Amino acid sequence: MSVRRLLVLPHLKIHNANALSSPFTIGFPAMTAWLGFVHALQRKLNAAGYPSLDLVATGVISHQCNLQTFQGPGDFVHSIIGTGNPLDKEGNRSAFIEEARCHLDVSLLIEYQADEETQQLMRQPDFIEVISHQLMRMKVAGGDLQAFELPLLQVLDDSDEVAQGKVMRSLMPGFALIERRELMQQAMEQGADALDALLEYLTIHHHCTEDNDGNVIWKSQRKVDGDGDKPGWIVPIATGFQGISELGEAKNQRDPNIPHRFAESIVTLGEFRMAHRIKQLDEVLWRYHTDLNKNLYLCQQAQTESKETANDGFY
């Protein structure tokens, strides 16, 4: 039994967030953007008189995600609606790499830890004011925070599924982002390379069979796993970085006192699951994790055991 302390930031309305979460994907901002925002908030709160406050894990629940792309009549693919700001000195559009944007309505579920003294301070009514004040000056995933509902503090017990369910239902309607890296791992263990493993889950598979009477039957479905389970609403998500050069010093780095290296985005599979289906908070909470031996900088979830059985009856 352990106690969980939660800070809920409900319905952050974000304008023009970065939708190019990796070079391979477009849409919902990268997990690194959300954890980065929460960490920035922690630093601001630490400085604002809550020194021992530690925001340890974050869940992201999407209520609305409005991607700024365009599909012309008859087009199969979408194109990005670019803005080309700022204009150059002659007033022409400057050369730019296309930047994809999206407008979001997102709730964040943040697990925190703090010592007794800081907790005492947080229980004071002005804490909510302080945090709102900080939020108003922050960027989220590169976008502007235009509005939000009042933050809430909650304490609940880990063994109390009813209370956890209640927290999640309060965020309905919404979809929680869950890591499904194990789907890709399984495919890769069977020999697929990463790109094939990814595409397997993002395509519609058309299967053709012939029954005993010679009738041809075409079936179309998303990829199912080995047990015939349908894995849910699966999307590619950017969850971290891989270092691609030695750690060291570089000319022109932002901060000369911090080790620098070049890195690339890492993409894996995730799932958007409706909030009312979440039974344990651990299913939605993400944390920082670095594996410097493998040069990996990750946001990841504790792999929970709550895998659902979805028997398709194919046996």
Partner 1 sequence: MSDPAIEQFFHERKEAWLKKNLKATMSEMEVRAKQLECDQFFELKNWLPDAAQRIESRALASHPSKFSHPSTGVGKKNKANGTYVTPILFLGHRSPDGFLRTGNVTCAEVDSVGNAAELDVEDFLRLKLSDGITLLDHIEQKTASAQALLRLDGYDFEQLRTSFLVVKSPPKNIVTNSKIKQVYFLVGEGEYHQLSILTHSAYLFEQRRRIDAIRFSEQAKEAREKRRNNQLGENYQEIYHLTTIGYGGTKPANISVLNNQNAGKAHLLLSMPPELSPRNVQLPTRNFFGEALYPKQLQVTFQAFHRLLSTGHNNVNIRKGRDYRIQEYLDQLILKMWQVRKAFVEQEYSRPEGLPAYQKIWLFPEHEQERADNQAWLAELIQDATRYFNVSYKRVLGSTAFVLGDTEHFAFAEVIEQNKEALL
Choices 65-73, 108-116, 117-125, 152-160 (CB under 8 A): range interacting with partner 1: 65-73
Site residues for partner 1, window 45-64 (CB under 8 A)?
62-64
If we measure between CA atoms, which residue out of 300, 195, 192 comes closest to residue 239?
Answer: 300
- Residue 16 engages partner 1 in binding (rule: CB under 8 A): no
Choices 108-116, 119-127, 152-160, 162-170 (CB under 8 A): range interacting with partner 1: 162-170
Contact yes or no for 113/5 (Cβ under 8 A)? yes
If we measure between CA atoms, which residue out of 278, 288, 270, 308 comes closest to residue 182?
Answer: 270
d(CA 220, CA 85): 43
Cα distances (Å, whole numbers) of residue 227 to 160, 188, 196, 202, 254 = 31, 17, 20, 18, 49
CB of 117 to partner 1, least distance (A): 19
Return the CA Rg of the chain.
22
Contact yes or no for 205/239 (Cβ under 8 A)? no
- Residue 65 engages partner 1 in binding (rule: CB under 8 A): yes
- Find the binder of partner 1 among 276, 280, 302, 304 (CB under 8 A): 276
Q: Which is nearer to partner 1, 89 or 123 (CB)?
A: 89
Q: Which is nearer to partner 1, 4 or 63 (CB)?
A: 63
Site residues for partner 1, window 288-307 (CB under 8 A)?
288, 290, 292, 294, 296-297
- Residue 272 engages partner 1 in binding (rule: CB under 8 A): yes
If we measure between CA atoms, which residue out of 156, 139, 190, 109 comes closest to residue 37?
Answer: 139
The binding track of 101-140 with respect to partner 1, each residue x by CB under 8 A or -, is ----------------------------------------
d(CA 5, CA 283): 16
CB of 124 to partner 1, least distance (A): 26
- Find the binder of partner 1 among 3, 169, 306, 307 (CB under 8 A): 169
Q: By three-state DSSP, how is residue 3 classified?
A: strand
The binding track of 188-217 with respect to partner 1, each residue x by CB under 8 A or -, is xx---xxxxxxx--xxxxxxx-x-----x-
Q: Which two tokens stand for residue 47?
A: 């400085």
d(CA 179, CA 299): 10
- Find the binder of partner 1 among 39, 115, 126, 307 (CB under 8 A): 39
The distance between the two most distant Cα atoms of the chain, rounded to a whole number of Å, is 77
Angle, alpha carbons 93-99-105 (nearest 5°): 125
Q: How many residues bind partner 1 (CB under 8 A)?
A: 110
CB of 181 to partner 1, least distance (A): 4
Choices 108-116, 129-137, 152-160, 287-295 (CB under 8 A): range interacting with partner 1: 287-295
Amino acid at 144: D
- Find the binder of partner 1 among 3, 47, 155, 310 (CB under 8 A): 310
- Find the binder of partner 1 among 211, 213, 255, 305 (CB under 8 A): 255
CB of 23 to partner 1, least distance (A): 4
- Find the binder of partner 1 among 9, 14, 20, 171 (CB under 8 A): 20
Angle, alpha carbons 224-226-229 (nearest 5°): 45
